[in-house]
Amino acid sequence: MTEKTIGVVAGVGPFAGLDLLRKIAEQTAAGRDQDHLTVLSVSRPSTIPDRTEYLLGRVAENPAYALAAQVQLLAQMGAQVVGIPCNTAHAPPIWEVMLAELETAACHVQLLHMIEEVGRFLHEHYPQVERVGVLSTTGTYQAQVYPQVLGGLGFTAVTPTLAMQESLIHPAIYHPQHGIKACGFATKRARQDLLTGIAALQEQGAEAVVLGCTEMPLAVTEKQIGNLPIIDATLVLARALVREGGGKVRPM
């Protein structure tokens, strides 16, 4: 397969972007520097409105337009296959508008859909799993992004109660004192709240749990907790970018 240049919209959020860049390198089966793929990254977070705030009606400007502009910039720089490490950006009110903008601009870069890639990864590596737990931002939660996409791929999505979502899961990302976005690192409180959410999803019958916000893998790094597989959506996207970029993906 001919090598393609990878592009990353890395400012949604900045730490998630850095995490994806690191995982692209880690997931490439390379024996030397020269075996790694070409990766271009643009991080302009100040220009992209918060995706969850938009979906919740607290911000009027659709982040789709800024996302499309940054995908176009990557394409102009030479990127051929692009990933956006933000699950919430894949909500149809954002994603579909962004695709329309790219079509209007005649920007035909290959844009990977992170959540569809998660479904593909589950089918390939956990074919026995049917009920998939999902932790996400409240924007992704209310937009039903994972239930819709995974449902179309034959899975049943299991999500937290609204009370848990609003009191534990979303604050682990956004809380001004202990949230990962605010602090720039995974606090003990954020990790504990996410672990509580994972345990609750398992009690609800989840056979695997997806970390459906790209800040979450900064706090929960385990691939498995007890007998429960933990699926890092950022890792899945990294592997997909290496695959579509023509690289050799490291075995799991």
Query: Same domain for 183 and 140?
Result: yes
* 213 classed as catalytic: yes
Query: Same domain for 13 and 104?
Result: yes
131-135: strand order across its sheet: 156-158, 131-135, 208-211, 228-232, 224-225
Q: What are phi and psi of 153, to 5 degrees?
A: -100, 5
Query: Same domain for 31 and 71?
Result: yes
Q: What is the CATH number of the domain that holds 127?
A: 3.40.50.1860
Q: What is the pLDDT of residue 94?
A: 97
Query: Same domain for 87 and 176?
Result: no
Query: Same domain for 109 and 210?
Result: no
- Domain range for 39 is 6-113+236-244
Residue 249 belongs to some domain of the structure: no
Q: Which of 213, 230, 231, 242 is catalytic?
A: 213
Q: What is the pLDDT of residue 215?
A: 95
Query: Same domain for 103 and 133?
Result: no
Q: Which of 12, 16, 86, 201 is catalytic?
A: 86
Query: Same domain for 124 and 225?
Result: yes
Task: Report the phi/psi class of residue 200: left, alpha or beta, with left for phi > 0 and alpha for psi in -120 to 50.
Answer: alpha
What are the tens digits of pLDDT across the range 9-58? 999 999 999 999 999 999 999 999 999 999 999 999 999 999 999 999 99
Q: What is the pLDDT of residue 99?
A: 98
What are the tens digits of pLDDT across the range 124-168? 999 999 999 999 999 999 999 999 999 999 999 999 999 999 999
187 pLDDT higher than 80: yes
Query: Same domain for 170 and 226?
Result: yes
pTM of the shown model: 0.96
- Dihedral over Cα of 141, 167, 45, 80: its sign: negative
1 pLDDT higher than 80: no
Residue 174 belongs to some domain of the structure: yes
pLDDT band (50, 70, 90) for residue 218: very high
Query: Same domain for 38 and 104?
Result: yes
Query: Same domain for 103 and 139?
Result: no
* 86 classed as catalytic: yes
Helix or strand or coil: residue 15? helix
Residue 181 belongs to some domain of the structure: yes
Residue 250 belongs to some domain of the structure: no
pLDDT, the chain, mean = 96
Pairing of strands 110-111, 81-83: parallel
Q: Which helix (H) or strand (E) holds 228?
A: strand 228-232
Query: Same domain for 143 and 213?
Result: yes
Measure the CA–CA gap between 138 and 88, rounded to whole angstroms.
9
User: Could you tell me what percent of the chain has a pLDDT over 70?
Assistant: 100
Torsion angle defined by CA atoms of residues 3, 10, 69 and 47, in that order, rounded to the nearest 10 degrees:
-170
What are the tens digits of pLDDT across the range 69-78? 999 999 999 9
Residue 133 belongs to some domain of the structure: yes
- Structural domain total, the chain: 2
